[in-house]
């Protein structure tokens, strides 16, 4: 017999079950926020994606989010549990560090996340990036210790770019200096982006092989300032030219937040034991104003040289027989881009003057000004007897300090030719190139005076070693040419260098993953994920931080990789993401299986790409 009290309990249970179903359907919330919406070009913005739920989530896939306008580092993952009024909530924070690729207004795309068959999406966030940079040391936070205290990253680490000067004439030197200013203990410092200096003739004055900092006070703080690169730039045209930004990556200490008083004594807050995080700093784009050279009073022989120069000339010997050569040396020395200067043109009646042989020696002054000496060697042959005068040789240049054209000139040089005048028939003997004159002496073969001392000639072409040498010489030349081409391409082609080193880098990262089998599950899967994604980025020359599952699949499909390989790769990346963001208790045997599958997929990709 069913009583009223029993019916009441059944109804209450039904209501509780219905309520729990409603809670389960609405217990997940996904939000995103940034620490600032207005930043300077070299500052970072921190994006935090928070997943809050009333129950602990077993599987949380990686979110899909458009961050193409930024350089991306992370995410770093942290989990929290909170109990308020006997109600328990769980939250998981994914924190990204973003650096804008250029100034302007950018949008952080809506983050999309699918959990238990339901899709959750955040709102897009707009970020304004100004082209200027807030001066370090002028912030509103007090200076901390030697590691920068609690200040923002840009308060303690930035890349300084300077021009000296920023307004010049065409072909006048601008010195561009790039210095790394920091208050951290830095590791793994390397160039990420190198300016192309389009529109300039360039000469490298200095490039750092290691950090050699000096202590310098900037604002109200002391920084370590390490010169990275110094370039001599010469504008090739007038107008406003832009020097692109330089970017540098490095690792800085990552201080964890203290959650109890005992954390004050933790060894892991020490830089020697603590974790590091990779960051990128970028210099500002700098404009150079190149003024045109004045048209008024421009000498007709002006070839574009800007600076301060001197010229001198000498001739040896000055007294020769008619038809014998005289060596005339002209040296132009001073400050400026001597590569823009043309050799002086000499035409003197009665003298045959050949094209000069040029030699350039570059020097850098103590204040960083590029200069040197250009030496031109002429061969001069008198075609008749008598005296000759080489008039003053002039080189026109523009002096930017005086803002006027000037002429540097030599003293005149007297030559004396003795003997008969060169006739038309014998003149043909002197109508030769410079190289033919240099070889003239080697063409004479003296007659042997004693026939008895002559030996019978050996037939060298019948010797085995002769043909072996003939075969080895072209082979060696081809091998050296290929090796040199390979080295030049490694230095000049970043994509080629990354592809060549992709296999070795993947092998090394897979070895690190194998060594991490006994470590924590998130660390193992993060290491394996890095090996897979870094190999793909190296093979197709794409920035690794921006590669997620969708982008990897899209780029590889465009590169002709077959679908079965793409499916296996996608499964492995999904397994790695689950292990990173939702660690469970994956057996060691399964980890080894995933590692072996990853090695196989990398081999397939190596063959396919």
> What CATH number should be reported for the domain holding residue 237?
2.60.40
Domain identity same for 363 and 407: yes
**Where is the domain boundary, 114, 129, 144?**
129
pLDDT at 608: 82
Domain identity same for 235 and 334: no
Q: Is residue 468 part of a domain?
A: no
pLDDT at 428 over 50: no
pLDDT at 307: 93
pLDDT at 171: 93
Q: Is residue 244 part of a domain?
A: yes
Query: Average pLDDT in the 59-74 region?
Result: 81
Reported as a single tens digit per residue, the pLDDT across 290-314 is 999 999 989 988 988 999 999 999 9
pLDDT at 215: 93
Reported as a single tens digit per residue, the pLDDT across 203-240 is 999 999 888 999 999 888 899 999 999 999 999 999 99
Domain identity same for 264 and 323: no
Q: Based on the structure, what is the number of domains in the chain? A: 4
The pLDDT confidence band at residue 68, using thresholds 50, 70 and 90, is confident
HSE-up (13 A, CA, CB side) for residue 431: 7
The pLDDT confidence band at residue 23, using thresholds 50, 70 and 90, is very low
Q: Is residue 322 part of a domain?
A: yes
Least Cα distance to 506 among 480, 484, 475, 537 occurs for 537
Most confident of 145-159, 267-281, 482-496: 482-496
Least Cα distance to 160 among 239, 31, 246 occurs for 246
Strand ordering across the sheet containing 87-100? 28-34, 44-53, 87-100, 70-84
Q: How far apart are the first and last CA of the chain?
A: 76
Q: Is residue 83 part of a domain?
A: yes
Domain identity same for 125 and 159: no
Report the alpha-carbon distance of residue 347 to residue 352 in Å, rounded.
8
List, in sequence order, every beta strand (DSSP E) within 400-528.
Answer: 404-409, 413-418
pLDDT at 134: 45
Domain identity same for 286 and 157: yes
Q: Is residue 97 part of a domain?
A: yes
pLDDT at 138: 33
Strand-strand pairing, 239-243 and 286-291: antiparallel
Report the alpha-carbon distance of residue 405 to residue 395 in Å, rounded.
11
Domain identity same for 329 and 429: yes
Are the beta carbons of 306 and 371 closer than 8 angstroms? no
Domain identity same for 319 and 281: no
pLDDT at 587 over 90: no
pLDDT at 595 over 50: yes
Are the beta carbons of 172 and 403 closer than 8 angstroms? no
Domain identity same for 311 and 286: no
Domain identity same for 348 and 429: yes
Domain identity same for 157 and 283: yes
CATH of residue 95's domain is: 2.60.40.740
Report the alpha-carbon distance of residue 60 to residue 90 in Å, rounded.
13
Q: Is residue 7 part of a domain?
A: no
Query: What range does the domain containing 68 cover?
Result: 24-129
Which structure tokens are listed for 4?
């009223």
Q: Is residue 465 part of a domain?
A: no
Reported as a single tens digit per residue, the pLDDT across 447-506 is 555 555 556 666 777 778 888 888 888 888 888 888 888 777 666 666 777 778 888 888
Report the alpha-carbon distance of residue 163 to residue 230 in Å, rounded.
10
Put simply, whether the predicted model's pTM sits higher than 0.75 gets the answer: no
Domain identity same for 261 and 338: no
Segment (H or E) for 2: none
pLDDT at 592 over 60: yes
Q: Is residue 269 part of a domain?
A: yes
**Where is the domain boundary, 238, 266, 291?**
291
Domain identity same for 340 and 434: yes
CATH of residue 563's domain is: 1.20.120.330
The pLDDT confidence band at residue 414, using thresholds 50, 70 and 90, is very high
pLDDT at 271: 47
pLDDT at 77: 81
The pLDDT confidence band at residue 141, using thresholds 50, 70 and 90, is very low
Of 371-375, 381-385, 432-436, 508-512, the one with minimum mean pLDDT is: 432-436
pLDDT at 267: 41
């Amino acid at each position: 017999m069913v009583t009223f009290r029993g019916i009441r309990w059944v109804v209450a249970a039904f209501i509780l079950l219905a309520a729990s179903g409603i809670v389960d359907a609405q217990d997940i919330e996904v939000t995103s926020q940034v620490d600032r919406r207005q930043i300077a070009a070299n500052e970072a913005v921190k994006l935090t994606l928070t997943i809050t739920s009333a129950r602990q989530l077993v599987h949380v896939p990686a979110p899909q989010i458009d961050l193409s306008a930024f350089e991306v580092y992370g995410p770093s993952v942290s989990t929290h549990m909170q109990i308020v009024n006997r109600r328990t909530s769980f939250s998981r924070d994914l924190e990204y560090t973003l650096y804008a690729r250029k100034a302007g207004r950018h949008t952080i795309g809506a983050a999309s996340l699918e959990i238990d068959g339901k899709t959750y999406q955040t709102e897009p966030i707009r970020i304004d990036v100004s082209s200027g940079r807030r001066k370090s040391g002028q912030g509103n936070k007090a200076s901390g210790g030697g590691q920068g205290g609690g200040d923002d990253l840009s308060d303690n680490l930035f890349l300084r770019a300077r021009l000296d000067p920023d307004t010049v004439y065409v072909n006048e030197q601008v010195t561009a200096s790039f210095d790394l200013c920091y208050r951290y203990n830095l590791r793994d410092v390397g160039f990420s982006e190198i300016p192309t200096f389009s529109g300039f003739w360039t000469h490298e004055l200095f490039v750092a092989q290691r950090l050699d900092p000096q202590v310098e006070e900037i604002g109200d703080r002391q920084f370590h300032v390490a010169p990275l690169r110094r370039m001599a730039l010469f504008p090739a045209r007038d107008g406003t030219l832009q020097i692109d930004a330089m970017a540098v990556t490095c690792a800085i200490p990552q201080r964890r937040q203290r959650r109890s008083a005992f954390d004050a004594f933790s060894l892991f807050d020490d830089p020697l034991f603590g974790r590091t995080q990779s960051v990128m700093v970028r210099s500002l784009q700098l404009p150079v104003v190149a003024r045109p050279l004045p048209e008024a009073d421009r000498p007709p022989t002006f070839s574009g040289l800007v600076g301060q120069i001197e010229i001198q000339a000498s001739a040896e010997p000055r007294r020769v027989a008619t038809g014998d050569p005289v060596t005339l040396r002209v040296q132009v020395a001073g400050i400026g881009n001597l590569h823009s200067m043309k050799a002086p043109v000499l035409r003197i009646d009665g003298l045959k003057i050949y094209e000069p042989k040029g030699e350039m020696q570059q020097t850098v002054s103590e204040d960083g000004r590029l200069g040197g000496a250009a030496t031109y060697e002429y061969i001069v042959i008198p075609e008749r007897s008598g005296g000759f005068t080489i008039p003053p040789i002039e080189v026109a240049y523009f002096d930017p300090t005086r803002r006027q054209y000037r002429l540097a000139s030599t003293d005149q040089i007297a030559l004396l030719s003795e003997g008969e005048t060169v006739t038309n028939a014998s003149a043909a003997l002197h109508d030769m190139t410079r190289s033919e004159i240099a070889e003239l002496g080697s063409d004479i073969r003296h007659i042997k005076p004693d026939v008895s001392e002559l030996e019978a000639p050996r037939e060298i072409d019948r010797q085995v070693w002769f043909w072996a040498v003939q075969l080895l010489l072209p082979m060696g030349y081809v091998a050296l040419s290929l090796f040199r081409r390979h080295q030049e391409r490694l230095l000049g082609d970043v994509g080629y260098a990354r592809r060549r080193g992709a296999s070795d880098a993947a092998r090394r990262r897979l070895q690190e993953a194998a060594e991490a089998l006994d470590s924590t599950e998130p660390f193992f899967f993060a290491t394996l994920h890095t090996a897979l994604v870094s190999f793909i980025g190296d093979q197709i020359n794409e920035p690794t931080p921006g590669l997620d599952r969708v982008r990897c699949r899209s780029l590889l499909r465009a590169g002709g990789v077959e679908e079965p390989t793409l499916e296996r790769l996608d499964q492995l990346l999904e397994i790695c993401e689950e292990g990173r963001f939702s660690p469970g208790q994956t057996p060691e045997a399964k980890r080894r299986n995933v590692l072996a599958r990853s090695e196989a997929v990398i081999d397939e990709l190596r063959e396919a790409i």
